[in-house]
């Protein structure tokens, strides 16, 4: 199956639109209507929020779902705080601390992206058909 995606000029327009706060880009990606827009996440932090069919469901982040891997940002978290990890290594040694799970990490997913180039690369890598519908 041939992959389709926006042209270089269209990607440029998408990126430019997503630099304006409360902008909106609508795309059709592998059968999903994807709404993206730059939103304020906290006082000093903005990010590109991704909604599928105008929804954001919690089950996409807890279950193994194609939506999670296709559209959302993987984030690696340590299971224990750095302070607890250091204390466990001092107490048990590195090999035993690892065996007991003190050095384990888990992958979570986030609904926003802080970098457009990373979002673009993720969409291209994980989706077959990407089509620009509307920029506003």
Residue range 22-58, pLDDT digits in tens: 999 999 999 999 999 999 999 999 999 999 998 998 8
User: How do residues 6-17 score in pLDDT, each as one tens digit?
Assistant: 899 999 999 999
pLDDT(2) > 70: no
Task: Enter the pTM of the model.
Answer: 0.80
pLDDT of residue 70: 92
Residue 133: name the closest of 54, 25, 49, 56 by CA. 25
CA distance 116 to 100: 38
CA distance 101 to 81: 12
The confidence band for 64, taking pLDDT boundaries of 50, 70 and 90, is: confident
Q: Are 23 and 37 in contact (CB under 8 A)?
A: yes
Look-up of token digits 């993987």: 74
Alpha-carbon 131 to chain mean position: 19
Alpha helices in the chain (DSSP H): 8-17, 59-62, 66-71, 82-92, 94-99, 116-126
Q: Are 126 and 69 in contact (CB under 8 A)?
A: yes
Rounded percentage of the chain residues whose pLDDT exceeds 90: 70
């Amino acid at each position: 199956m041939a992959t389709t995606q926006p042209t270089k000029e269209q990607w440029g327009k998408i990126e430019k639109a997503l630099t304006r706060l409360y902008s909106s880009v609508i795309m059709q990606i592998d059968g999903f209507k994807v709404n993206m827009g730059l939103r304020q996440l906290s006082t000093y932090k903005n990010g590109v929020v991704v909604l599928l069919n105008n929804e954001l469901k919690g089950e996409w982040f807890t279950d193994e779902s194609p939506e999670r891997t296709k559209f959302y940002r993987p984030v690696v978290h340590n299971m224990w705080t750095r302070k607890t990890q250091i204390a466990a290594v001092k107490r048990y040694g590195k090999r035993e601390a690892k065996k007991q799970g003190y050095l384990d990490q888990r992958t979570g997913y986030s609904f926003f992206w802080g970098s457009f180039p990373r979002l673009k690369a993720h969409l291209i890598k994980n989706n077959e058909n990407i089509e620009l519908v509307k920029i506003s």
